[in-house]
Chain A
Amino acid sequence: NAGVMQNPRHLVRRRGQEARLRCSPMKGHSHVYWYRQLPEEGLKFMVYLQKENIIDESGMPKERFSAEFPKEGPSILRIQQVVRGDSAAYFCASSWGRDTSPAFFGQGTRLTVV
């Protein structure tokens, strides 16, 4: 039973490019959470999605960031026109229901903007 899979593990983008981060939840999980970890800090909640629905995006920056979790395929976190401040580790977690804490985490994608 594979865990939460994130790819790529490392991603380098130049300023102004787009970054796409992918997350495949554990089998049977329909809830996905994205977190961001800035250097030397704890994880910060970004967005909570169920299949085809954004449930809570209170932690998402207002511009350039978007997320989706389609009926088929992985969840995608998209960052448009990246800036140096977007450099961070982005973690995805999944669960099978809102009352089934804790969510299981992927290994993260480390985004570096040069």
Chain B
Amino acid sequence: AQTVTQSQPEMSVQEAETVTLSCTYDTSESNYYLFWYKQPPSRQMILVIRQEAYKQQNATENRFSVNFQKAAKSFSLKISDSQLGDTAMYFCAYDNAGGTSYGKLTFGQGTILTVHP
């Protein structure tokens, strides 16, 4: 079974600075997807960024980028120019959509990120 581990329960950063959230995963599959989701206090799950395992290039979405290390099974999220609105719980998630698990997501435990003014 796939597992996703986020080893940082809480992180904090000053506004406008950069922060990196860590995620490791375990799988025997070669083709899969990885995601970072943001959950603000409203509880809505918001997709931040997605990475396809067969792509070597790291995904980027505006201020958000990932460092995908397939051999190390590591998938960290870097947030540049942090903003107060980035304060939220962040979840790393794995999807073996190319296999037999029909697109269901396995989530990590989450990291609470607080951005200070």
Interface positions, chain B 66-107, Cβ under 8 Å from A, are 91, 93, 95, 97-98, 101-107
Cβ–Cβ < 8 Å partners of B102 in chain A: 48, 55-56, 98
Pairs A-B, 3 closest by C-beta atoms: A42-B107, A105-B45, A98-B103
Whether B107 pairs with A102 at a CB distance below 8 angstroms is no
**How far is B42's CA from A99's CA once the two chains are assembled, in angstroms?**
28
The tally of residues in A whose CB lies under 8 Å from a CB in B reads: 25
Whether A41 pairs with B103 at a CB distance below 8 angstroms is no
Whether B106 pairs with A45 at a CB distance below 8 angstroms is yes
Closest chain A residue to B95 by CB distance? A101
Closest chain B residue to A110 by CB distance? B43
When the two chains form the complex, which single residue of A43, A95, A110 contacts B91, counting CB atoms closer than 8 Å? A43
Whether B33 pairs with A102 at a CB distance below 8 angstroms is yes
Whether A43 pairs with B95 at a CB distance below 8 angstroms is no
Residues of chain A having any CB pair with chain B under 8 Å? 31, 33, 35, 41-45, 48, 55-56, 89, 91, 93, 95, 98-103, 105, 107-108, 110
**How far is B103's CA from A98's CA once the two chains are assembled, in angstroms?**
5
- Indicate whether A102 sits within 8 Å of B47 (C-beta atoms), given known contacts A41-B109, A42-B91: yes
5 extra A-B contacts, CB within 8 A, seeds A42-B4, A102-B50, A102-B105: A31-B103, A35-B105, A95-B103, A101-B33, A107-B42
Whether B105 pairs with A45 at a CB distance below 8 angstroms is yes
**How far is B102's CA from A74's CA once the two chains are assembled, in angstroms?**
20
Shortest CB-to-CB span from A28 to chain B, Å, is 16
Whether A43 pairs with B98 at a CB distance below 8 angstroms is no
Say what secondary structure dominates the interface of chain A.
Answer: strand
Shortest CB-to-CB span from A93 to chain B, Å, is 8
Shortest CB-to-CB span from A32 to chain B, Å, is 11
Shortest CB-to-CB span from B113 to chain A, Å, is 15
Whether A103 pairs with B103 at a CB distance below 8 angstroms is yes
Cβ–Cβ < 8 Å partners of A95 in chain B: 103
**How far is B110's CA from A98's CA once the two chains are assembled, in angstroms?**
25
Cβ–Cβ < 8 Å partners of A42 in chain B: 4, 91, 107-110
**How far is B107's CA from A42's CA once the two chains are assembled, in angstroms?**
6
Cβ–Cβ < 8 Å partners of A91 in chain B: 45
